[in-house]
Amino acid sequence: MSQKQSHEMEGSLKECLRELSTALGNKDYHVQGDQITVHEGGGKELVISLVYEGDRKLGSLDLPMTQVNYEFNGYSDGEAKAFMTHISEHMLRAGGG
């Protein structure tokens, strides 16, 4: 069963890839281009793909924005929700929330 979720992050593709890689910690993952694939065993695979959306104007600031798409394969609803909570908490600590 596959579940999909997405959200926006402030930052360039490079910045977002770095933050997501940090949030993944010791998980078994690899990065190829603008995509991160996480292998968790037991048939679970998470594919995170990033799409740069360009700059968003906020007053005199130009903020780079990136769409982050998550595809959870083999995860329960609770496991996917727990992962998204972990990512959200990490981004808040990192200043990206």
Query: What is the per-residue pLDDT across 30-66, written as a single tens digit (0 to 9) for each?
Result: 999 999 999 998 899 999 999 999 999 989 999 999 9
Which fold is adopted by the domain 2-92? Ribosomal Protein S8; Chain: A, domain 1 (3.30.1370)
DSSP annotation of 34: T
* Gyration radius from the chain CA atoms: 14
| pTM score of the predicted model | 0.88
Tell me the three state secondary structure of residue 92: helix
Query: What is the per-residue pLDDT across 57-96, written as a single tens digit (0 to 9) for each?
Result: 989 999 999 999 999 999 999 999 999 999 988 877 654 4
Tell me the three state secondary structure of residue 13: helix
Mean pLDDT of the chain: 91
